[in-house]
Amino acid sequence: MNFFTIAVSILIFGFLIVIHEFGHFIAARMSKVKVLEFAIGMGPVVFSKQGSETLFTLRALPIGGFCKMQGEDQDDYSEGSYNSKSKLSRILILSAGAIMNIIGCIILLSAVFFILGVPTSTIDEVQEGYPAFESGMMTGDEILSINGENVESWDDVNLILDDSVESEYSLVVDRQGDRMRFELTSAFDSELDRYRIGITPAREKDLLGALAGGVSQSYLYAKLMFSAIGALISGNASTGDLIGPIGIVGVVGETVQYGAVALLNLAAIISLNLAIFNLLPIPALDGSRIIFVLIEWIKGSPVDPEKEGMVHLIGFILLMALAVFIAYNDILRLN
């Protein structure tokens, strides 16, 4: 773990923390809630600047941040306080950080798609020794259908081709205006441990296509994350599989050698993880605070601030204990 890896990790964490807290900040200001302090980092203040209403601070430890609002953790219903606002406004403020991280993920992945180009249904390469090459398919062929199913994008190709079993396919392509049909059977690729027909797509730089790709990929990543959470809850996964900031630094160190695009993709995954984790109904997190607002909405009166505060305090202590456990496992992995 060298200095460059640590510096890149701090930049990634810092960026994701900034956009998360900025989401809370913007939503609070839109709701006319007074923001007392907007902090990046934790611990001692190393730099501060007083705005017209908000104190902006940079703190020594790059492991978090916060957006301190008037009356947020107090029984304060004065004008400009968090508690004085409607339940809908408070839910928006609490969820805004996660929403910004989701938007950040989409933007980062859209940048990846734009840099690499959006894969199309036109073939860029037909790999020698694989079924597509043996059947006579060529670079420039545009796939129109597979097994009778229309193909309009590379996503359609991926959905139809099954890489888990040997399968027979009938592909109709357009070759310079002529329609041609190819019959082939997928072959096993021992290096990639999956079945393939041996084609790669041509890519084009398309801003709208890149944005659509960013949204689609974010959705796929979210599905994987919820599946992982489900496996953890059901006992099909272990807490030993979790990684924290130290482990992520190790992942950054492995990823950085693959270049900026790989780092952008990793930053997007971390951003989405941060969003989903913060929305879970775990005490001390935004998701738990949203639950308390919903309880207030249902019962028609606020939850006792002392009781809510105690729940969040206990949750925070448990989270810190989990963080120490995960950090210990991260260190063992690095060694």
Residue 147 has pLDDT above 90, yes or no: yes
Total domains present in the chain: 2
DSSP-assigned letter for residue 242: -
Check residues 122 and 321 and name the one with the higher pLDDT.
Answer: 122
Report the mean per-residue pLDDT for the chain.
87
Residue 272 has pLDDT above 80, yes or no: yes
pLDDT attached to residue 161: 93
Q: Residue 231's pLDDT band (boundaries 50, 70, 90)?
A: confident
Please say if 72 is a catalytic residue: no
> How deeply is 233 buried, as exposed, middle or buried, from its count of CB atoms within 10 A (0-12, 13-18, 19+)?
exposed
Of the residues 21, 79, 152, 183, only one is catalytic, namely: 21
**Mean pLDDT along residues 28-42:** 93
pLDDT attached to residue 312: 77
Say whether both 102 and 148 belong to one domain.
Answer: no
pLDDT attached to residue 166: 94
Residue 191 has pLDDT above 70, yes or no: yes
Say whether both 111 and 123 belong to one domain.
Answer: no
Q: Looking at the domain assignment, is residue 210 inside a domain?
A: no
pLDDT attached to residue 229: 84
Say whether both 26 and 64 belong to one domain.
Answer: yes
Say whether both 42 and 189 belong to one domain.
Answer: no
pLDDT attached to residue 89: 95
Residue 242 has pLDDT above 70, yes or no: no
CATH number of 180's domain: 2.30.42.10
Check residues 62 and 89 and name the one with the higher pLDDT.
Answer: 89
Check residues 316 and 285 and name the one with the higher pLDDT.
Answer: 285
pLDDT tens readout for residues 201-215? 999 888 988 999 899
DSSP-assigned letter for residue 84: G
- The pair of three-digit structure tokens given for residue 27, joined into one six-digit string: 């939503």
Helix, coil or strand: residue 303: coil
H/E segment holding residue 52:
none
Read off the amino acid at residue 154.
W
Which residue, 156, 177, 204, sits at the end of a domain? 204
pLDDT attached to residue 246: 66
Say whether both 101 and 240 belong to one domain.
Answer: yes
pLDDT attached to residue 65: 86
Check residues 65 and 35 and name the one with the higher pLDDT.
Answer: 35
Q: Residue 73's pLDDT band (boundaries 50, 70, 90)?
A: confident
Say whether both 248 and 321 belong to one domain.
Answer: yes
Which residue, 140, 170, 204, sits at the end of a domain? 204
Residue 197 has pLDDT above 90, yes or no: yes
Q: Looking at the domain assignment, is residue 283 inside a domain?
A: yes
DSSP-assigned letter for residue 240: G
Least confident of 91-105, 187-201, 213-227, 242-256: 242-256
Alpha-carbon gap, residue 281 to 291, rounded angstroms: 7
pLDDT attached to residue 179: 96
Buried b (16+ CB within 10 A) or exposed e, 184-204: bebeeeeeeeebbbbbebbbe
Say whether both 107 and 123 belong to one domain.
Answer: no
Say whether both 229 and 319 belong to one domain.
Answer: yes
Say whether both 257 and 161 belong to one domain.
Answer: no
Count of CB atoms within 10 A of residue 217's CB? 21
Question: Could you list the residue range(s) of the whole structural domain that residue 163 is in?
Answer: 119-204
**Mean pLDDT along residues 273-283:** 90
Q: Looking at the domain assignment, is residue 209 inside a domain?
A: no
Say whether both 132 and 108 belong to one domain.
Answer: no
pTM: 0.80
Count of CB atoms within 10 A of residue 113's CB? 24
Residue 59 has pLDDT above 80, yes or no: yes
